[in-house]
Amino acid sequence: MRKKLFNLIEIGSDEQNNTFDYYDWFMMAVILLSIIPLAFHKQYLAFEIIDKVTVSIFIIDYVLRVFTADLKLKKGVKSFFIYPFTPMAIIDLITILPSLNFLSKGFRLLKIFRLLRTFKAFRAFKVIRYSKSINLILDVFKSQAKTLGTVAGLAVGYVLFSALLVFNVEPESFNNFFDAVYWATVSLTTVGYGDIYPTSTIGRIVTMISSVFGIAIVALPAGIITAGFMEALSDKETKKETENESRNEETICKEVNQSEDNGES
């Protein structure tokens, strides 16, 4: 029973049964439904009903995950104590707590309760758990973590260097070093708000050089992520083909064995 529940609530635990896909889609629909009231300032009775229904479903889902924590973490009894502190479990809990009205009675300041309500926005992050495509993208980020970290370090170094350069070349246009860092970041991303900008010739030359090299640095992560995503898709397809081939071989072997048994009989 616990094994079936685990396969039901965890993505990819049993890809042969469509019921598990239905559960994923159902939870994604519930998450999206729970976010709708956050897009309105005025609260209606329908929104209160939506909140109570969706949070009840979230609580059941959370309890089931705690109940099957040992099957996920595979650390025996310790799993039940470790799981509530895992990132996704914390997000689950944060999305539930703001809807528990009895918690607000102990708060004297209404602002604290309003601040607590904003945590409902974390429900959007629950979609990550129920989307296989998003999980695939997250795997790409994990596999390319070192490369992306190197690019991020290069970008930070480039921003600081550009900021230091323009701050000394044209100090009258920047009140402090943070303004120069802000300008360098905007130039690196080619956003160009235009609220802070150099006015001297040499300052403009630095801006042009910074923007040109900035395009190259910004383009690097996109190329790395795209290449990693394509590689992950290719590996997934290869794995599927291998599994299908092995299933076909097993089926052929069973048919051969059955025909031999029938021939002997």
Judge whether 206 lies within some domain.
yes
Tokens of 92: 């689950």
CATH number at residue 233: 1.10.287.70
**194 three-class SS:** coil
Judge whether 258 lies within some domain.
yes
Residue 143's pLDDT band, with cuts at 50, 70 and 90, is: confident
pLDDT digits (tens, 9 = 90+) for 191-208: 777 788 888 888 888 888
Does one domain contain both 104 and 195? Answer: no
Our count of domains for the chain comes to 2
Q: Which range among 31-40, 122-131, 177-186 shows the weakest confidence by mean pLDDT?
A: 122-131
Rg, C-alpha atoms of the chain: 27
Cβ contact 181:163 at 8 Å: yes
Residue whose C-alpha is closest to residue 169's, from 214, 208, 212: 208
Per-residue pLDDT at 123 = 62
* Crossing angle for the helix pair 145-169 and 201-264, to the nearest 10 degrees: 180
Judge whether 73 lies within some domain.
yes
Residue 6 has pLDDT above 70, yes or no: yes
Tell me the CA distances in angstroms from 230 to 137, 159, 162, 215, one per residue in order. 10, 30, 34, 23
d(CA 97, CA 129): 19
d(CA 78, CA 107): 34
pLDDT digits (tens, 9 = 90+) for 88-121: 888 888 878 777 765 555 444 334 444 555 565 6
Residue whose C-alpha is closest to residue 142's, from 232, 11, 69, 238: 232
Which residue is associated with the tokens 């991020």? 152
* pTM attached to this predicted model: 0.53
Residue whose C-alpha is closest to residue 94's, from 104, 84, 102: 84
* Angle of CA points 205, 207, 212, to nearest 5°: 100
* Angle of CA points 22, 28, 30, to nearest 5°: 100
Judge whether 135 lies within some domain.
no
Q: Which range among 1-15, 177-191, 230-244 shows the weakest confidence by mean pLDDT?
A: 1-15
Does one domain contain both 156 and 248? Answer: yes
pLDDT digits (tens, 9 = 90+) for 32-69: 888 888 778 787 899 889 988 988 998 998 999 899 88
Residue 249's pLDDT band, with cuts at 50, 70 and 90, is: confident
Instruction: Calculate the average pLDDT of the chain.
Output: 78
Per-residue pLDDT at 133 = 72
Q: Which domain holds residue 164?
A: 145-264
Question: Per-residue pLDDT averaged across 20-39, rounded?
Answer: 80
